[in-house]
Amino acid sequence: MDEGKRLFDEVAKRIAKYVPPLSITVQSDGRIDVYSDLPVVIEGRKYKNVFFASAILYPTYVGFYFMPVYAQPEIAALFSKDLLALLKGKSCFHLKRVSEPLLQDIETALAKGFALYQEKGWVR
């Protein structure tokens, strides 16, 4: 198994730990998308669900998309500098190498993001 696929599998496994109460809306060999099923109102707009996180296997990296950092940018201050260095845009991290510190940083980010969603009432 190449490193990209191994990295994708490790990130996907960590995202899937939050199912349930979150739900997988897309799952394939190279993609997983996870949402909250609760209808919510965010800044006056109604949504039937809320995106939480996804991982997508690309040819040269794994995209780790993490909506809590977009929904509440100050949460980024809680991430390690190594994980923040991989942030491209507002909520996408480009991951290239498997390492235990990186996987631990992702686990920590997911836990903090899930706690934020619970606090906001976006997940049970």
Stretches where the chain sits below pLDDT 50 are: none
**pLDDT for the residue numbered 90:** 81
CA–CA separation, 87 vs 95, rounded Å?
Answer: 9
**pLDDT for the residue numbered 1:** 55
User: Kind of pairing, strands 45-47 and 92-95?
Assistant: unpaired
> Domain map of the chain by residue range?
3-116
C-beta separation of 52 from 70 below 8 A: no
Say which CATH topology domain 3-116 has.
Aspartate Aminotransferase, domain 1 (3.90.1150)
